[in-house]
Amino acid sequence: MAAFLDLLSGLRAFLTFNLAAGCAVVALAAQGGRVSNRLDILTHFAPFWLAGGLLALGLAALAPRGGARTASLILGLVAAMSAAALIAPELLRPRSPPAPSDAPGQIRLVQFNVWGRNQDVAATADWIMAQQPDFVVMQELKAPMREALLARAPGYQLVCDHRSVCHTAILTRLEPIRFTIPEYGLPGASTPLAVAQFRAEDGRIFTVMGVHYTWPTFGGVQQAQGVQVAALLDRFPRERMILSGDFNSTPWSFSRRREDARFAMERRTRALFSWPAAQFSRWRLELPFPFLPIDQVYAGSGWRTVSVRRGPKLGSDHFPVVVTLAPGP
């Protein structure tokens, strides 16, 4: 029996050390995302490296004293601190003053990758329209969802690029005064997007843009898309701009931080986990909670935030995000 217990103790020490070492190596390598797009992929999973480091610390703290325990404690601490350094800037960044819930001139925007393989089109469309949105920025919009929404939304209009079958679209309650679907020629980096301008209740013109980035696993393509979007933003006044989309990019990545600075608008979504909401990967895995905050909404300084919330699980692999804004003073 004593030999069996010793075996279990040794196995636990071995697993604890490897957990701590693995998370420490990956979390430290993720810091290389400052200079490498490929290493920046590791930053998106910073919460996992943090959780693994903390778990290793807890297991090592319960282990008998010895060299393996000390090594696991050190490595677990390195993993936790390095991962926390990636996440902390998102949690600590300043926010603009919020608007009261009864602020005049409010608009409600739903950001939602409705998914090309949506499993419940009718319920998804019902929920979207129940929010009484002024704008719905959607990605992966297919014909069944488009038809379901338009059937439930008399008076709304759809702004999209029909040449790409409305992949990215803006469903709007307001009449667009101008809309454009720019095309770009960068090889392998074209960005599905839709842009429209509107006139607010106070008479001022504002712009809404919807985008959909590719996965970060295609090294450099996502960053090229960011360059395209930034160049397009430069054509419009930033103060009343709203940029919404599935960026496939978490706020602890260095790419997202660089774009935050380049876009010169406040990102109103803060560590709002929105993916996955359905089975994912070829093994059809399913988790009870989302672990990647990849749906983002930006707004210029002319907008104040009333509320930001995540919607329920619907037929998509993303959770919807609902943002309410009010004009600033």
Give the span between the Cα atoms of 326 and 329, in whole angstroms: 9
Strand blocks (E) in 19-143 = 107-113, 135-139
**188 pLDDT above the threshold of 80:** no
Q: Which residue has the tokens 């999973």?
A: 45
pLDDT at 8: 67
The residue ranking higher by pLDDT, 282 or 78, is 78
Homologous superfamily assigned to 107-327: Endonuclease/exonuclease/phosphatase (3.60.10.10)
The 10s digit of each residue's pLDDT in 31-70 is 999 999 999 999 999 999 999 999 999 999 988 888 788 9
**168 pLDDT above the threshold of 80:** yes
**1 pLDDT above the threshold of 80:** no
Q: How far from chain centre, in Å, is Cα 167? A: 18
- For 282, the 3-state DSSP assignment is coil
* Beta pairing, strands 303-310 & 241-246: unpaired
215-240 in b/e form (b: 16+ CB < 10 A) is: ebebeebbbbbbebbeebbeebebeb
Q: Are 324 and 122 in contact (CB under 8 A)?
A: no
**Domain residue ranges of the chain, discontinuous segments joined by +:** 2-92, 107-327
